[in-house]
Amino acid sequence: MGDTSGLGEPTLEEQIAAYQREFQDLDPQVEKIVNALSRLNRRMNVAYGRQTAELGITNADWEVLKALVLSGAPYRMGPGDLAKRLGLTPAAMTHRIDRMVTEGLVDRERDETNRVRVIVELTSAGREKWLEAMRLATVFEEDLLQDLAPDERVMLGEVLTRLLRRVEHAQPDAGGRLSDLD
């Protein structure tokens, strides 16, 4: 008992209560924050996934496009750098690029100055896809934060970056195999 919707997921409050029932020495305030962060992130990823699907690409594609665009003009990176940036193995990057080349989102060519290197370059179609995805994403994000007053937004941003600084300092960029960048 206690499950609100069928079995999909208990409410956050129910879940915290269950944690307290099964584990002593638990700070409900901490658990509330941490679990809300996780859930929020999952919901955001679901939303992004819907939007990219709507555009005919995958979240995986979107990540690559994002990395290329954010690298700045002329929107070129090597597969190895892309892999590091996205937290993938180079092997996975090879296949991902294979697919994206056939989809026309990026071009792959050999670096003529160093023929062991490969250059992945954003196509104009790829850049356009990224822009469309960004338009959808920003609408969703603005809607998500709609209920927050301006000063709450400032405060939230400040607190989150403080947490981030703490955890990034603690684990100074260990090759985190847990994708889902930014």
Partner DNA sequence: AAGCTAAAGTTCGATGCTAAAGACTACATA
Partner DNA sequence: TATGTAGTCTTTAGCATCGAACTTTAGCTT
Q: CA 93, CA 10: separation in Å to the nearest integer?
A: 37
Which residues make Cβ contacts (< 8 Å) with residue 18, sequence separation at least 6?
A: 2, 10
Q: CA 49, CA 97: separation in Å to the nearest integer?
A: 19
Q: Are 68 and 122 in contact (CB under 8 A)?
A: yes
Which range binds DNA by CB under 7 A, 8-16, 46-54, 78-86, 165-173?
78-86
When binding is defined by CB under 7 A, the residue of 71, 99, 121, 134 that contacts DNA is 99
As measured in angstroms, the least distance from the Cβ of 180 to a second copy is 6
Q: Does 97 bind DNA (CB under 7 A)?
A: yes
Alpha carbons within 13 A on the beta-carbon side of 174: 7
Q: Does 169 bind DNA (CB under 7 A)?
A: no
**Helix crossing, 59-70 with 79-86: angle to 10°?**
110
When binding is defined by CB under 8 A, the residue of 95, 110, 117, 153 that contacts a second copy is 153
Q: Interaction with a second copy in 88-117: which residues (CB under 8 A)?
A: none
Q: Does 136 bind a second copy (CB under 8 A)?
A: no
Q: Does 74 bind a second copy (CB under 8 A)?
A: no
115 binds, among DNA, a second copy, none (CB under 5 to 8 A by kind): DNA
Residue 118, classed as helix, strand or coil, is: strand
List contacts with DNA (CB under 7 A).
60, 78-81, 87-97, 99, 108, 113-118, 177, 179
